[in-house]
Chain A
Amino acid sequence: MTTPVLYDTPGPIARRRTTIVSIVLGLLLLAAGYFFLYRPLAARGQLSPEKWGPLVDPANTNMPLVWDRLATGLLATLQAAALAILTSLLFGTALALLRMQLRALSHRRFGGLPWIVAFALRGLSAVLNALTRAAIEVGRGLPVLVTIFFAWRLSGITNPMWPLVIGLTIYNGIVIAEIIRSGMDGLPYGQREAADSIGLTPGQAVRLVLLPQAFRVMLPALISQLVVILKDTSLGFIITYEDTLAIAQQIIQVLDNPIQLYAVLGVIFIAVNYALSRLATFVQRRMSARAGGQVIKRPPATAAESGQLPLA
């Protein structure tokens, strides 16, 4: 539902009224900004060049030093984020495949084997299924901070980047696995049947037919999850990782400009994450434009012609 449905297209009177309300609101906002932000900040010298200069004034002698340090921190953050993204995707895909396998196993009756072996195998697959489900619920229900912190304390690894990556991977891998799995579940059942009927093994069917399509369908959701990973990477300073925020704290100790520094860092984070979110929206729009909103529900023949299906 697009919002203009909620009200009529404004006529001259409504337009005039909207303009008046807008101007009044704008003035109120300005006044509020002046009295509650500008005046208190200016009174405490928070808008002075000593506070902002090292961050934004190229003439300031401290600026190269500050940005050199910040660049080190940002690089460390990006490095950990990139690693965590890579491992989360790998772990998530593996977990999704494992769960698909286990689910397929739990439907098998193991006919042809002696009954006691079949019974044991069915019991084993049920237990494994329950175990993975429980592990997933726990991993999803825990705060990332707790996972990261205890990955750090338990592993005893001295370089805190690895516990950070491990903690992020556990949580985000599980989320990504769920995204991929729901993507595979959402595919038309004919895909699976077609794969079976041309003689692919279940493993091949998942690898060659279901997984690539699930990735495509879920690409926007996956990209949004990358934003989450990047944001959560900033937890690293809590386990002494020398990331952006750790270095920001060092700079603040010297220059005493927390508001200014966090504002600048905030702008950087917002810019990067906003770009990623726009990318997700763009991908989504392109995909629905290309297939008229139904990426995968096209007849297999057309799909094969246009190279949609990796034909084995």
Chain B
Amino acid sequence: MDVLVENREVFVSGFWVTFQICVLSATGALILGTLVAAMRISPVAPLRWVGTAYVTVFRNLPLTIVFFMTGAAFAELGAPNADLLKIPGLSSVFTRLGIELPYFRFAIVALGVYTAAFVAEAIRSGVNAVPAGQAEAARSLGLTFTQNLRYVVLPQAGKAAVVPLGSVIIAMIKNSALAGAFGVTGELFSNGSALTSAGGYPIVPVFIGISLGFLVMTVPLGLMLDRLEKRRAAGR
């Protein structure tokens, strides 16, 4: 256990980087995913096709390929450093966003774009959970498509989508470990594996340290969702 105490800086800073990746890509995924979900239920057929295609592609691609593709695509599309993500205000809070090496930004794009497909599905399942009578009633009151969504369907869908969305975010937090294997130095997993290989530290304590870092994020979120789900089930 001395390893943990001795290297607590490494674990804490790793946790912080992982946390930044998670917050940024979750935000991106939620925004993009909501857009995709809106496309999938829109009255304009081509928009629906685009939405469906997006979800089909990213739900069935392994995240590893998305990561590889992101790096290669940015390079070949003329933005090898993904500089457009060096958003001035944001990179002062999330310091990693503004650094020279592009891998942190690649990771956020890959993770966000991938997770957005699952976010879209979660939101759509929430919309599907709203009884049809609600939307019909709104239609018969003369609400337009956007009014219908905004005042009647989405507020109710939001409630039903919270639990699936939570599971998506938990999965995303776990997937963020992949960033460490794709060149994001200083991330929790890459920090830990560096300790065992280059540092020569024993494996078990390092494993415990990494695990704690992830479990601190995933387990409370999971328990919260379980409670929410039970309360919902009882309330129904």
Q: A residues within 8 Å of B by Cβ?
A: 1-3, 5-8, 10, 14, 18, 21-22, 25-26, 29, 36-37, 40-41, 44, 46, 137-138, 140-146, 149-150, 153-154, 227, 231-235, 237-238, 245, 248, 258-259, 262-263, 265-266, 269-270, 272-274, 277
Residue of B nearest to A140 (CB): B222
Residues of B in contact, count (CB < 8 Å): 58
Do B77 and A145 touch across chains, with their CB atoms under 8 A apart?
Answer: no
For A237, A270, A274, which residue has the most chain B Cβ atoms within 10 angstroms?
A270
Q: B residues within 8 Å of A by Cβ?
A: 41, 43-47, 50, 56-57, 59-65, 68-69, 71-73, 76-78, 127-132, 134-136, 139, 145, 148-149, 153, 170, 174-178, 181, 189, 193, 196, 203-204, 207, 210-211, 214-215, 218-219, 222
Which residues from A are CB-within-8-Å of B149? 6
Do A37 and B177 touch across chains, with their CB atoms under 8 A apart?
Answer: no
Which residues from B are CB-within-8-Å of A137? 215, 219, 222
Q: A2-B132, A8-B139, A153-B196 are in contact. Are A18 and B44 (CB under 8 A)?
A: yes
The smallest C-beta distance from A184 to any residue of chain B, in angstroms, reads: 17
Do B61 and A266 touch across chains, with their CB atoms under 8 A apart?
Answer: yes
* A259 in complex: contacting residue of B72, B170, B211, CB < 8 Å: B72
* B62 in complex: contacting residue of A232, A258, A263, A277, CB < 8 Å: A232
For A1, A234, A270, which residue has the most chain B Cβ atoms within 10 angstroms?
A1
The smallest C-beta distance from B211 to any residue of chain A, in angstroms, reads: 6
* B60 in complex: contacting residue of A149, A153, A273, CB < 8 Å: A273
Do B193 and A6 touch across chains, with their CB atoms under 8 A apart?
Answer: no
Which residues from B are CB-within-8-Å of A272? 60
Which residues from A are CB-within-8-Å of B207? 146, 150, 154
- Bound-complex Cα distance A41 to B77 (A): 6
27 A–B contacts from the bound complex (CB under 8 Å): A1-B135, A5-B135, A6-B153, A7-B145, A8-B139, A14-B43, A25-B44, A37-B77, A40-B77, A137-B222, A142-B214, A142-B215, A143-B189, A145-B177, A145-B178, A146-B189, A146-B211, A153-B196, A245-B65, A245-B68, A258-B72, A262-B68, A262-B69, A266-B65, A269-B65, A277-B59, A277-B60
